[in-house]
Structure 1
Amino acid sequence: MNFILFDGPRRNHLLPFTFTRPVSEIRVGIMTLKERWEAYLKVSVTSLTEEYLSVKYPVNLEDLNIFIDASILPSDSLIKTIHSLKENEVVKSGDLIVAYSSASVRNSDELSSFTVIEFKNDLIQINNTWDIFDKNADILQSDFDFITKDRKSQPISDTNQLIHPERIFLEEGAKVEFSILNATDGPIYLGKNAEIWEGSLVRGALALCDNAIIKMGGKLYGATTIGPYSKVCGEVSNSVIFGYSSKGHEGYLGNAVLGEWCNIGADSNNSNLKNNYAKVRLWDYATERFEQTGLQFCGLMMGDHSKTAINTMFNTGTVIGVNSNIYVPGFPRNFVPSFSWGGASGFTAYQPAKAFDAAKVMMARRGVEFNEVEADILTHVFELTKKWRKY
């Protein structure tokens, strides 16, 4: 069978992260949504996404395909249902189109003629940006159980203090020394060549993905995911960093999501709780207004390639777009459009040519080329987001 993950109706609610990637490339728990489907299906899958992203993320169409909403997470029962699909059948959960089998891409109207298979079990779905951190604990636990089943951790150095070592797993090349690891409230997973430096305090759940680093004295807790090649220090609570990003110094990051190639300056902090303890509202690109999250704790959402200077402060429920640079004192407003340069005293447009120069240098430090494909994607995002920039 040929499996394709399509972006689905939640894509615009997952901006700014889906400006630069398909829904399937969102990381939550230990894996991306795509990696998780491939692990459960035991085959490679491709993504059906926006045309401007398709050069980097090409789709493979065959004579018969099974299309799956990428925002939905796999389960054993869902995998079984999907494997049983015949051509022109659709799996639905209420009004939600979960998956369908077809020779070609179909819209919802065309699927109305398909034979419906009702999926009655519970589904886990990433509906909004805040779901990425809010659902991270359960998903991280599920990923940990799946990845480590019938496997043995690499040895953990006896310089560390461990609580519930049976829930701590190190992949090949992972290192941790002179740190305290407490897996009472959730598992602790270190990917290949990940490192926790001396003096760190970790309270699970934690996923430190391949080649990621917690620097000396880091304090991490509350179902946190640090994606591949990222570096963190300071205090991090219930946050998800997709990969290749740095929060390398003191400062607080809580109930937050950072994309790739972000850099948080030293002593930068985000608030995750309103002074009046009210539920947090967050900018939603799909509705173009601030929507109620239903959460009392909600911090910072930051798109790819965005950066802060030292001592930057963010209000509760702040959304920063792609390739923005926040650098002046005070709290910037809680929605900053993509390609913005400035802060509390005002913004100007961050022109792509200058942004690309910075991206080339930053990515080269990690051995990754900033090529024409990346430039074309970001140029398209610059044009898409003009309407939100008033400068």
Structure 2
Amino acid sequence: MTDLFLLEPEPQPAWFPFADARPISELRAGVWLVRERWEAIGEATSVAIFGPPHLHAFTEAGVPPVREPGTVDGPAIVGRSDFAPSGVQPDLGGGAARLVHEGETIGWWVPEGERWKGAAGDWPEVELDGLRLHGAYDLVSALEHFLPPDAADFTRERGDGVPDGCIVIGDPADVIILGGGVEAGTVFDVRQGPVVVEQHAYVMSGSRLEGPVYVGPGTQVLGGAIRASVLGPRCKVRGEVSAAVFLGYSNKAHEGYVGHSVIGRWVNLGAGTTTSDLKNTYGPVRLRLPSGTAETGRQFLGSLIADHAKTAIGTQLDTGTVVGVGANLFGASRSPKQVPPFAWGDTRERLTREAFLTIAERVMPRRGVTVSDEVRGMLGAIYDHATSPIRS
């Protein structure tokens, strides 16, 4: 069995707002988490994530512990979290190797009997197919790059068939229902790619799913048009969603448009919350970050919303809005383009640590997640890091 170790990038503004609350390896690049993409190409089991101190208390089902980087004994793969493999398994051979993509080292193969101690720049090169991620905004590019082949892979599965009373535009074989429920009156448009509905998911009448679309386990689609998007586990989604990633356990249960956006875990979008994803000039989107700006090079980019953030009804989010972990948006209908972590409405106040923990203790059990001492410790560490004077 091959072990997998994920190497997080050095802290940098480009990964705001998500890096405050979770490892980069636990973000979605297409249907799958970055970690899951590395596990697939190495047929490996994740052992640890080498990451920053504020995430050493990170705990989530299925996620290995986060700790300081150390030596690695083979057989193992060490993969960078800011690279998402495509799924094509490399020919690793018998000797130690540096995994490279377009001339850049993005990982290492450590065979049995070898030890990885760091860069290992003299190891032979093996090319690995995939996508280099330069910041949080590239998760939208990863969605566009990986979702079509990821969804197509599911057509190998024997699904449950399309329920009576549904409308399919395209080949019915591209509707893959894997134990989910679908009401009559649902429209599947699979001309541009398959639609996948995972186990225990539920799609209500009045929904239009335009592939490629992935509806994760336990997620409820409550109506509206969903196109070219990934909805992670245990979400509730209604309204118009286009080219968006929901990491999981988040609510968008009302009308409103979310496009070319990434929505973290435990986010609640109030009724009518709407993102803009195209500037009036049709020019490239620039992000405002805590330490300056970032040029994304993208024409279409909506909002990047970190874990545990919440918006009031009628919130309007400009093109390229970045919302920090735990922020609460209310008061002004149009938010600033960069919202600090744990912001409290349009005041200059900040949500307190104890209030954040109290809210989490109310919210998380609603999705069957117990707020244990370990989870409280993780949330407290996230709050302390995101509100530290160095970050302010």
TM over 0.5: yes
Deviation at residue 182 of structure 1 after TM alignment = 0.2
CA contact (8 A) 1:220 1:235 kept: yes
Residue of structure 1 equivalent to 2:137: 130
Point out the more displaced range, 55-64 or 36-45: 55-64
Secondary structure of the structure 2 residue equivalent to 1:290? strand
Give the one of 170, 177, 182 matched to 1:175.
182
Give the one of 70, 88, 93 matched to 1:84.
93
Partner Cα separation in structure 2 for residue 337 and residue 95 of structure 1: 36
In the TM superposition, what are the counterparts of 1:182-261 in structure 2 within 5 Å? 182-215=189-222, 217-221=223-227, 223-261=228-266
Identity over aligned pairs, percent = 27
Partner Cα separation in structure 1 for residue 103 and residue 386 of structure 2: 31
Q: Structure 1's 373 and 283: CA in aligned 2 closer, same or farther, altered over 3 A?
A: farther
Q: In the alignment, residue 92 of structure 1 is paired with which amino acid?
A: V
Partner Cα separation in structure 2 for residue 325 and residue 367 of structure 1: 23
Secondary structure of the structure 2 residue equivalent to 1:124? strand
Q: Structure 1's 377 and 199: CA in aligned 2 closer, same or farther, altered over 3 A?
A: same
Residue of structure 2 equivalent to 1:273: 278
Deviation at residue 259 of structure 1 after TM alignment = 0.4
Partner Cα separation in structure 1 for residue 355 and residue 235 of structure 2: 23
CA contact (8 A) 1:30 1:143 kept: yes
Partner Cα separation in structure 2 for residue 306 and residue 23 of structure 1: 18
Partner Cα separation in structure 2 for residue 11 and residue 40 of structure 1: 27
Deviation at residue 284 of structure 1 after TM alignment = 4.5
Give the one of 251, 263, 269 matched to 1:264.
269
Secondary structure of the structure 2 residue equivalent to 1:4? strand
CA contact (8 A) 2:151 2:193 kept: no
Deviation at residue 118 of structure 1 after TM alignment = 4.9
Residue of structure 1 equivalent to 2:301: 298
Give the one of 96, 99, 102 matched to 2:104.
96
Deviation at residue 372 of structure 1 after TM alignment = 2.7
Q: Structure 1's 94 and 159: CA in aligned 2 closer, same or farther, altered over 3 A?
A: closer
Q: Structure 1's 28 and 334: CA in aligned 2 closer, same or farther, altered over 3 A?
A: same
Listed one character per residue, the Cα deviations across residues 173-203 of structure 1 (whole Å, up to 9, x for unaligned) are 3434311110112221111111110111221
Residue of structure 1 equivalent to 2:147: 140
Secondary structure of the structure 2 residue equivalent to 1:272? coil
Give the one of 71, 75, 78 matched to 1:67.
78
Partner Cα separation in structure 2 for residue 301 and residue 277 of structure 1: 19
Partner Cα separation in structure 2 for residue 10 and residue 38 of structure 1: 24
Point out the more displaced range, 234-243 or 163-172: 163-172
Q: Structure 1's 11 and 4: CA in aligned 2 closer, same or farther, altered over 3 A?
A: farther
Residue of structure 1 equivalent to 2:339: 336
Deviation at residue 124 of structure 1 after TM alignment = 1.6
Partner Cα separation in structure 2 for residue 357 and residue 59 of structure 1: 25
Secondary structure of the structure 1 residue equivalent to 2:196? strand
Listed one character per residue, the Cα deviations across residues 4-26 of structure 1 (whole Å, up to 9, x for unaligned) are 12213587532322222222211
TM-score of the two chains, using structure 1 as the length reference: 0.88
Partner Cα separation in structure 2 for residue 365 and residue 297 of structure 1: 34
Secondary structure of the structure 2 residue equivalent to 1:347? coil
Partner Cα separation in structure 2 for residue 94 and residue 220 of structure 1: 34
Partner Cα separation in structure 1 for residue 375 and residue 103 of structure 2: 36
Point out the more displaced range, 90-99 or 18-27: 90-99
Residue of structure 2 equivalent to 1:289: 292
Residue of structure 2 equivalent to 1:310: 313
CA contact (8 A) 2:55 2:378 kept: yes
Secondary structure of the structure 1 residue equivalent to 2:132? coil
Q: In the alignment, residue 329 of structure 1 is paired with which amino acid?
A: A
Point out the more displaced range, 328-337 or 97-106: 97-106
Query: Unaligned 5+ residue runs, structure 2?
Result: none
Deviation at residue 389 of structure 1 after TM alignment = 7.2
Deviation at residue 247 of structure 1 after TM alignment = 0.4
In the TM superposition, what are the counterparts of 1:337-352 in structure 2 within 5 Å? 337-343=340-346, 346-352=347-353
Residue of structure 1 equivalent to 2:24: 23
Q: Structure 1's 210 and 145: CA in aligned 2 closer, same or farther, altered over 3 A?
A: same
CA contact (8 A) 2:73 2:116 kept: no
Deviation at residue 326 of structure 1 after TM alignment = 0.6
Deviation at residue 52 of structure 1 after TM alignment = 3.5
